[in-house]
Amino acid sequence: MDRKEAEAYQRLDPARLPRHIAIIMDGNGRWARRRHMPRVAGHRAGVAAVRSTVETAARIGIPALTLYAFSEENWRKRPRTEVDFLMRLLCRFLKAEIKTLNDNNVRLEYIGRKHELPESVQQEMEYAREATSKNRGMVLTLALNYSARSEIVDAFRSLAEAATKNGGLDHLEVTEQLVSEHLYTRGLPDPDLVVRTSGEMRLSNFLLWQLAYAEIYVTQTLWPDFRGVQLLEGIEEFQKRERRYGGLGKDKEHEHAPVRNHAGVKH
């Protein structure tokens, strides 16, 4: 850690770190535009942010980190040249970062409709996943060709297919736990904290089921400028909050507690 990261980490309670942090990486285009550079320059600069964030999260003991790297909507709404560049950048990133991931004991996984990506990209993804598969530290998940709505659709398709092989739909009892077991993120805890860079106030079709009770932290920092210290600042804000999961906070519980008469006191 550098000095700023060490100072930020000293303000944290290591016993209350999030089990899973999800990050919506946003602002590459604006970063490039402010510098009168092409959009692809922002994507290229964002790689350093990924590296710093992953290393910091792994070093402080975050069990799981998920990065929203490429959405299904990107296929349809981005210029072909930009999409092709992003695919090449992804392949270069995967090749270059295997050593760093192994040095930090990070295991790489993916969520999204991976089968729709170019075959060459799928091969690089599988190679990197296999090269880190023996690591037992943090799980780094890249959301690629990802859509939360598509994930939920795929989960229900999987549920229906499983039911037809096991007595039919009449015997299917759908529960929240069962749905969770058919999501892309099965095996991971739901995120405790979701970070969005660049100041935007939306979830952008990201982990809609899993983020039901996540704390949301929005920073004005554009993704290429985001580093480990900004991650630690987000965790610090997370630790200041009281998580109630739909219940009452401690003060509210006391405020709404039933009034009991003291023995011998008449009203």
Phi-psi region of 20 (alpha: psi -120 to 50; beta: other; left: phi over 0): beta
Is-contact 267 231, C-beta < 8 A?
Answer: no
Q: Would the pLDDT of 267 be above 50? A: no
DSSP 20: E
**Cβ neighbourhood burial of 76 (10 Å; 0-12, 13-18, 19+):** exposed
Query: Where does the pLDDT of residue 220 fall: very low under 50, low under 70, confident under 90, or very high at 90 and above?
Result: very high
Residues contacting residue 143 through CB under 8 Å, at least 6 positions apart: 66, 67, 68, 69, 70, 71, 110, 111, 112, 206, 207
The catalytic position among 2, 13, 26, 103 is 26
Residue-wise pLDDT for 148-196, tens only, equals 999 999 999 999 998 888 777 777 888 999 999 999 999 999 999 999 9
Q: Would the pLDDT of 254 be above 90? A: no
Mean local confidence (pLDDT), 20-48: 96
- Find the farthest-apart pair of alpha carbons in the chain and give their distance in angstroms, rounded: 82
Q: Would the pLDDT of 264 be above 50? A: no
Residues contacting residue 138 through CB under 8 Å, at least 6 positions apart: 54, 57, 58, 61, 62, 63, 64, 65, 104, 105, 106, 107
Q: Which residue type sits at 256?
A: H
Look at residue 266 in the predicted model and tell me its pLDDT: 39
Residue-wise pLDDT for 48-97, tens only, equals 999 999 999 999 999 999 999 999 988 778 888 999 999 999 999 999 99
Region of poorest pLDDT, from 40-54, 72-86, 119-133: 72-86
Residue 61 has which token pair?
């003991």
Compute the mean pLDDT over every residue in the chain, rounded to the nearest whole number: 91
Per cent of the chain over pLDDT 90 is 80
pTM (predicted TM-score): 0.90
CA distance 139 to 62: 9
The catalytic position among 13, 28, 74, 103 is 74
Look at residue 74 in the predicted model and tell me its pLDDT: 82
Give the dihedral sign, CA 24/180/72/150: negative
Q: Would the pLDDT of 263 be above 80? A: no
- Single out the residue of 52, 49, 85, 86 nearest to residue 71, CA to CA: 86
Q: Which residue type sits at 162?
A: A
Active site residue 170: no
CA distance 257 to 240: 25
Is-contact 226 47, C-beta < 8 A?
Answer: no
Q: Would the pLDDT of 257 be above 50? A: no
In the chain, at which residue ranges do the beta strands (DSSP E only) sit? Answer: 20-24, 64-71, 107-111, 139-146, 193-196, 215-218
Look at residue 265 in the predicted model and tell me its pLDDT: 38
Is-contact 191 21, C-beta < 8 A?
Answer: yes
Active site residue 26: yes
CA distance 226 to 21: 15
Residue with the bigger pLDDT between 19 and 163: it is 19
Mean local confidence (pLDDT), 126-150: 98
